């Protein structure tokens, strides 16, 4: 986010996707991602865990997998 400081300052919502298994393939959380809401003018700052179905280019609720 360092290079895009102006975009982050102007944005209403900033999301970041973290993949625990990206650097540790044997992670017990393989196939999951954390969607971190870092800035939200309209609501709370939270972290949501989702299942990554990357072969379909989508994320789904963990309860639906």
Contacts of residue 36, Cβ cutoff 8 Å, sequence gap at least 6: 15, 16, 17, 18, 47
Q: Considering the entire predicted model, what is its pTM? A: 0.73
Q: pLDDT truncated to tens, each residue of the chain (65 aa)?
A: 556 677 777 889 999 999 988 888 888 888 899 999 999 999 999 999 999 998 999 999 887 65
């Amino acid at each position: 986010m360092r290079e895009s400081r102006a975009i982050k300052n102007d944005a209403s919502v900033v999301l970041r996707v973290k993949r625990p298994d990206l650097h540790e393939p044997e992670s017990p959380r393989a196939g999951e991602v954390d969607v971190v809401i870092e800035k939200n003018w309209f609501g709370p700052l939270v972290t949501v865990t989702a299942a990554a179905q990357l072969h379909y280019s989508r994320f789904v609720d963990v309860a639906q997998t």
